[in-house]
């Protein structure tokens, strides 16, 4: 354990420093995300007005606000730049340096990311959650905060993170085959946004599609933790959903290993 800490702590530290160095970029992305939430907020508000009822497909307006901002929070916590980082390293050949180090490659990426993730959680996710609880108290007049749901949310978001990290890793390996990584990034984000329910709650999708999407790995990346926090699942369903997340975390882990074994054969680094 001590050895592990000694090996990977420098990577964690590098991750934190990276975020602090590029803090303005970080701020830009966070504000961009919040602007998007507000656009969606007004859009949903007018949808609620047009539908004429207090609830829209079993969601109240305050549910909707919670859902929008929590999806954003889940997106920030599970955010991973590993697909870009690994792709850049494959392109410029610096991945060779990483491969010759006596550390596990995946773990070294993960450690770098954990630094940034911790920063994002503390500086962004928690303040937004506190803000949401204040919003709920002001609009509904009662304290809706449920510490058990928060704890389950945190557990679920850890699993979500593991799935998201591996999915991003797989996307990063695409750099062995495709050069337009920026386009791939757009594609990845829009697919994940749609399939994970962060664009539109999966609960609003047509029944057949919803069931399929709920079992796909993307739901594990955002939808499950958000629904757990909102108290939309009962105890047995929570256990079931957490189980699905864990299963996906393992399957995606296996897939990423398989892709890597195939991809590493294609690696050729020029110069150095």
Partner 1 sequence: MRRAFKIYRILVAQNLKRLMEYKADFLTGAVSFLIDQAIGIAFIFIIFSQIPQLAGFTFEQIVFIYGFSQIPKGLDHLLTDNLWCVGYFIVRKGDFDKYLTRPINPLFHVIAETFQVDAVGELVVGICLMIYSAPSAGLYITPLSVILFVLVIPFSALIYTAIKIATAAVAFWIKSSGFIIQMVYGMNEFAKYPTTIYSNFIKLIVTFIIPFAFTGYYPCLYFLTGENPVFNIGCTVFISIIFLGISLAIWHKGLSAYESAGS
Say whether residue 100 binds partner 1 (CB under 8 A).
Answer: no
End-to-end CA distance of the chain: 34
Selected range binding partner 1 among 26-34, 107-115, 156-164, 249-257, rule: CB under 8 A: 26-34
Give the one residue of 4, 31, 99, 130 binding partner 1; rule: CB under 8 A.
31
What lies within 8 Å, CB to CB, of 106 at 6+ separation is 169, 256
Provide the token pair at 203. Answer: 């609960």
Please give the Cα distance from 25 to 12 (Å, whole number). 19
| Total residues interacting with partner 1, rule: CB under 8 A | 38
Sign of CA dihedral 112, 1, 170, 205: negative
Residue number, 130 or 186, with CB nearest to partner 1: 186
Task: State the helix-helix crossing angle for 61-77 and 105-120, rounded to 10 degrees.
Answer: 140
Q: Pick between residue 130 and residue 178 the one whose CB is nearest to partner 1.
A: 178
Please give the full DSSP string across 158-226, using - where no structure is assigned: HHHHHHHHHHHHHHHHGGGT-S-HHHHHHHHHHHHHHHTTSSS-GGGS-HHHHHHHHHSHHHHHTHHHH
Q: How many residues does the chain have?
A: 272
Contact of 143 with 137, CB cutoff 8 Å:
yes
Q: Which of 9, 13, 38, 127 binds partner 1 (CB under 8 A)?
A: 38
Q: How far is the CB of 233 from partner 1 (least distance, A)?
A: 22
x/- letters, 238..267, toward partner 1 (CB under 8 A): ------------------------------
d(CA 157, CA 224): 8
Q: Which is nearer to partner 1, 18 or 149 (CB)?
A: 18
Print the binding letters for residues 43-62 with partner 1: x by CB under 8 A, - otherwise: x-xxx--xx----xx-----
* Contact (Cβ atoms closer than 8 angstroms) between residue 76 and residue 124: yes
CB of 71 to partner 1, least distance (A): 13
User: Does 35 help bind partner 1 (rule: CB under 8 A)?
Assistant: yes
The answer to whether 91 contacts partner 1 (rule: CB under 8 A) is no
Give the one residue of 199, 203, 244, 269 binding partner 1; rule: CB under 8 A.
199
Is 20 a binding residue for partner 1 by CB under 8 A? The answer is no
The contact set with partner 1 (CB under 8 A) reads 24-29, 31-32, 35-36, 38-39, 42-43, 45-47, 50-51, 56-57, 178-180, 182-184, 186-187, 189-191, 193-194, 199-200, 204-205
């Amino acid at each position: 354990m001590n050895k592990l800490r000694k090996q990977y702590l420098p990577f964690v530290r590098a991750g934190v420093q990276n975020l602090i160095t590029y803090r303005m970029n970080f701020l830009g992305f966070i504000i961009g995300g919040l602007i998007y939430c507000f656009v969606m907020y007004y859009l949903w508000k007018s949808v609620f007005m047009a539908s004429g009822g207090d609830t829209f497909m079993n969601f109240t307006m305050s549910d909707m606000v919670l859902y929008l901002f929590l999806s954003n929070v889940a997106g920030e916590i599970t955010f991973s730049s590993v697909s870009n980082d690994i792709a850049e390293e494959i392109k410029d050949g610096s991945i060779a340096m990483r491969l010759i180090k006596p550390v596990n490659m995946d773990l070294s990426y993960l450690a770098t990311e954990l630094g940034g993730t911790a920063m994002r959680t503390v500086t962004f996710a928690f303040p937004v959650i506190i803000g949401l609880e204040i919003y709920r108290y002001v609009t509904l007049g009662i304290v809706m905060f449920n510490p058990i749901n928060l704890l389950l949310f945190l557990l679920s978001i850890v699993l979500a993170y593991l799935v998201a990290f591996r999915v991003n890793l797989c996307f990063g390996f695409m750099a062995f085959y495709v050069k337009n990584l920026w386009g791939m990034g757009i594609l990845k984000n829009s697919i994940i946004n749609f399939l994970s329910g962060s664009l539109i709650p999966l609960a609003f999708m047509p029944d057949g599609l919803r069931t399929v999407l709920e079992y796909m790995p993307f739901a594990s990346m955002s939808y499950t933790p958000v629904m757990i926090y909102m108290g939309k699942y009962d105890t047995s369903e929570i256990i079931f959903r957490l189980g699905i997340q864990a299963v996906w975390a393992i399957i995606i882990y296996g897939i990423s290993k398989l892709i890597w074994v195939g991809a590493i054969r294609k690696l050729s680094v020029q110069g150095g």
